[in-house]
Amino acid sequence: MSQVIKIHPMEDFKERSRAVLNDPGQRKNFRGAMDFLQAKRRAQFPDQDELQGLRELGSQIRRYSLANLPRLLEQLEARLTANGIQVHWAQTPDEANAIALGIAQRVNAKSVIKGKSMVSEEVGFNHAMAAAGIEALESDMGEYIVQLAGEAPSHIIMPAIHKTKQEIARLFADEIPGVAYTEDVDALIRIGRKVLRRKFAEADIGLSGVNFCVAETGTLCLVENEGNGRMCTTVPKVHVAITGIEKVVDRLEHVPPLYSLLSRSATGQAVTTYFNLISGPRQPGEKDGPEEVHLILLDNGRTQAYADEELRETLKCIRCGACMNHCPVYARIGGHAYGTTYPGPIGAIISPHMLGLDATYPLAFASTLCGACVEVCPVKIPITDILVRLRNESQAKPESDEATLRGSGAGRTVTSTAVWNVWAQVYGRSGLYKLASWFMSRGRALSPSDQGAWTRSRTPLVPAPKRLRDLLKERKS
């Protein structure tokens, strides 16, 4: 099975986007999926007052958690340790993988069965395990499908959203021994279930993500529908959970509002099938459950976002995916075009901290700033404000006060700087503006027909024959 992924997000962003835009099949898949998810979410929030009140509460809880993050992380660590869960800290993906590999090698693990974890995608976990000769198998149905196809997830909640059932039927028939082609979804799920059941029973380590870490009780909360998350965290002798440092909340009572917002915003369900609270490994006398539980806390750029009050809001995210489900850009280009682990609006604002703004700044421009994402975000992240901030950061003068992020100023070019300098001069002085606009309107016939990216899919820009001030003058006279 091929293992993904080394990410070079921006090299081909525009090319990938164009390819999807010109592919009617993919356009249809995404449009259909987005319409479905939007309708499901809408049906879960019939009462606008309740929705707005709950969003405000969710936002307050996340903001409070972040304001107290260092204290809560220490408390979480102390409580987890007291409960028998081993806590590890990693600054980079490599460090996280080294920790996981250290655990795997100590217990002589040959295989890892994985529940859904975007952070494991973020660190390239499968690749790191494969390099050490350890099989890492995805068990979430969608993740299993994309792994079998040698692809990466195209959505954080529904990883195989870009595939039709016909494509999956073909994939299963080609890749799973003894499986005949069938488009019956129930039959396809039964096939996946059968293959993976054996793997749950045999795997040495179960890996999972975490939705919420509760500092007060030392509890890891996992949200899921399929039961694979429970399998991964219960059957193997060792459970390794991996998550970002921002996922902690202070109190257990902070969980119910966030859980409600998450399941309703993500897939339009009142609740998911399973909500799994893990507060320790198997105790003496217990007959199942893992003998060891580990938590890997990953930074990978999150502390950079944390350092700035405006960008810190990014870390409130509970990874529901509603922003991408409602994004007119995501709906048209899909998740793979972004080239980052997290696509869509949240991807555009979180990825710069993980990969550097130099590698990701075009994503901040791939937005109409329509604000649909801001309206649906269950924890009220001001996504469009942050997109504008990142656009500005990408044009900042390197080494200056305005450049605060890794890769700030990467979008700045000599030409664009010169153009904007001239623009600022002209628009800052009325005499100059008057003169320039006179020349523009009178010389409009000289406007070039090729205006670069603008004219690739639009008609050329031509100044009006008369300026506003000319029209007003005529009206007065």
Partner 1 sequence: MKASPNPTGAAEANARRSILARLRASAATAPLLQPDVKAWFDSHQRHEDNAQRVSRLRAALEAVKTEVHDTTAADWPDLVLRLVTAKGLRNLLIGTNTPHGAALEARRPANLELKRYAESIDSWRDVLFDEVDASLTLDKSAIAETGSLILWPTPTEPRLMSLVPSVHFVLLDVASIHADFYSAMTAEGWKERLPTNALLICGPSKTADIQQTLAYGAHGPRELVVLLRHADAVYPGAAS
Show the tokens assigned to 68: 């107290």
Which C-beta is closer to partner 1: that of 9 or that of 407? 407
Residue 255 or 377: the one with the smaller Cβ distance to partner 1 is 255
**Closest approach of partner 1 to the CB of residue 363, in Å:** 24
In angstroms, rounded to a whole number, what is the distance separating the alpha carbons of residues 386 and 369?
10
Pairing outcome for strands 85-90 and 111-114: unpaired
Cα separation of 49 and 55, whole Å?
10
Which residue in 122, 138, 226, 393 binds partner 1 (CB under 8 A)? Answer: 226
With vertex at residue 473, the alpha carbon angle to CA 471 and CA 474, rounded to the nearest 5 degrees, is: 65
Interaction with partner 1 in 406-465: which residues (CB under 8 A)? none
Q: Mutual orientation of helices 344-355 and 383-394 as an angle, nearest 10°?
A: 40
Q: Count the neighbouring beta carbons within 10 Å of the beta carbon of residue 74.
A: 11
How near is the Cβ of 467 to partner 1 at its closest, in Å? 46
- Neighbouring CB atoms inside 10 A of 260's CB total 17
Q: Per rule CB under 8 A, is residue 67 in the interface with partner 1?
A: yes
* Nearer Cβ to partner 1 (215/348): 215
**Mask 267-296, x = binds partner 1 (CB under 8 A)?**
x--xxxxxxxxxxxxxx-xxxxx-xx----
| Choice between 107 and 472, CB closer to partner 1 | 107
Is 251 one of the binding residues for partner 1 (CB under 8 A)? yes
What is the total residue count of the chain?
Answer: 477
Helix (H) or strand (E) holding 111: strand 111-114
Question: Would you say 159 or 411 has its CB closer to partner 1?
Answer: 159
Nearest to 209 by CA among 221, 219, 201: 221
Contact assessment for residue 85 and residue 293, using Cβ atoms and an 8 Å cutoff: yes
The residues, any chain, with a CB within 8 Å of residue 274's CB and separated by 6 or more, are 222, 223, 224, 225, 227, 229, 230
Q: Does position 182 bind partner 1 by CB under 8 A?
A: no
- Under the binding rule (CB under 8 A), the answer on residue 64 touching partner 1 is yes
Q: Which of the stretches 252-260, 317-325, 447-455, 464-472 binds partner 1 when contact is defined by CB under 8 A?
A: 252-260
Judged by CB, which is closer to partner 1: 17, or 97? 97
Q: Which of 104, 160, 324, 348 binds partner 1 (CB under 8 A)?
A: 160
Complex with partner 1: residue 252 or 426, whichever CB lies closer: 252
- Residue 176 sits in the site that holds partner 1 (CB under 8 A): no
Q: Which of 80, 148, 158, 320 binds partner 1 (CB under 8 A)?
A: 158
Q: Which amino acid is at 29?
A: N
Lay out the site mask for partner 1 across 200-219 (x = CB under 8 A, - = otherwise).
xx--------------xx-x
